[in-house]
């Protein structure tokens, strides 16, 4: 499992933040979950489907 110890601060337009939060509530997700999904997709698009081995190393073997 990935460690969740790093923090990423993002500046976002208040109206977009409100829209994101409303959509997340409707879909029973948190904004953090959505951002993590976007980051994983971004990394995979650039490094390929085996990105976990490249980025996480042996940690991904357990998942």
pLDDT tens per residue, range 26-56: 999 999 999 999 999 999 999 998 998 888 8
For residue 15, pLDDT over 60 is answered with: yes
Q: Is 41 exposed, middle or buried (0-12, 13-18, 19+ CB in 10 A)?
A: exposed
The pLDDT value recorded for residue 59 is 58
């Amino acid at each position: 499992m990935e460690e969740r110890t790093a923090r990423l601060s993002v500046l976002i337009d208040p109206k977009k933040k409100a829209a994101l939060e409303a959509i997340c509530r409707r879909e029973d997700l948190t904004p953090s979950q959505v951002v993590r999904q976007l980051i994983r997709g971004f990394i995979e698009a650039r490094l390929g489907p085996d990105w976990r081995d490249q980025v996480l190393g042996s940690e991904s073997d357990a998942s």
